[in-house]
């Protein structure tokens, strides 16, 4: 979600921070912090991940940068830390709520449909983290509003895993297609909540 007109995006001085929501296509380390196995690193935390730009693994699901990294660089903004394991003092410059394997729909909803997601992080979970971050950063609603009006907020890629987990769990095509309206409504509702914060 771009919170302003396209012409303003050209100006790097317009945005003071970035906020990201999504799945593995935007995750910069949250999934690692949720990892159950602390003795064996997940595949995205070892080489070849990260080797083409950072020259070491960064917990991105990529061998280099993600689209969100290119956006931040083009706006002359810093690459943002993951929310989990990040430091509040750095969140003024932006924060990443995206988690590899995240779904748009809540875990309980998918379980009711017979789908077992790879983790229990949904867009709703990320929105909860966002609200926690605002509570920590801002003393007054006006302060939050001012902060967010200078933020680039991106929602997406999210929703694909809802379908992937369905197919991996042997749901029929028709069953998986039945999630489409709920996925769209969930993403739309999250964007509307974010717009109200502005």
73-113 pLDDT, tens per residue?
998 888 888 999 887 777 888 999 999 999 999 999 999 99
Q: What CA dihedral angle connects 80, 84, 88 and 89, to 10 degrees?
A: -40
143-197 pLDDT, tens per residue?
999 999 999 999 989 999 999 999 999 899 999 999 999 999 999 999 999 999 8
Average of per-residue pLDDT across 4-28: 75
* pLDDT > 90 in the chain, percent: 53
pLDDT of residue 51: 77
Return the residue matching tokens 């509570």: 135
Q: How far apart are CA 124 and CA 121, in angstroms?
A: 8
Q: How far apart are CA 102 and CA 122, in angstroms?
A: 5
């Amino acid at each position: 979600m771009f919170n302003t007109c396209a012409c303003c995006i050209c100006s790097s001085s317009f945005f003071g921070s970035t906020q990201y929501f999504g799945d593995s296509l935007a995750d910069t380390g949250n999934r690692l912090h949720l990892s159950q196995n602390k003795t064996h690193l997940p595949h995205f935390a070892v080489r070849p991940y990260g080797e083409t730009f950072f020259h070491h693994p960064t917990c991105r699901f990529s061998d280099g940068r993600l689209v969100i990294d290119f956006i931040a660089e083009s706006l002359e903004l810093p690459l943002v830390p993951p929310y989990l394991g990040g430091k509040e003092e750095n969140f003024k410059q932006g924060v990443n709520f995206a988690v590899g394997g995240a779904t748009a729909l809540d875990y309980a909803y998918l379980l009711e449909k017979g789908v077992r997601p790879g983790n229990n992080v949904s867009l709703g979970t990320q929105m909860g983290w966002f609200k926690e971050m605002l509570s920590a950063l801002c003393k007054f609603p006006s302060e939050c509003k001012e902060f967010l009006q200078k933020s680039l907020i991106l929602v997406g890629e999210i929703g694909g895993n809802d379908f992937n987990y369905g197919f991996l769990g042997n749901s029929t095509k028709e069953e998986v297609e039945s999630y489409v309206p709920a996925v769209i409504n969930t993403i739309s509702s999250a964007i509307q909540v974010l717009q109200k914060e502005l």
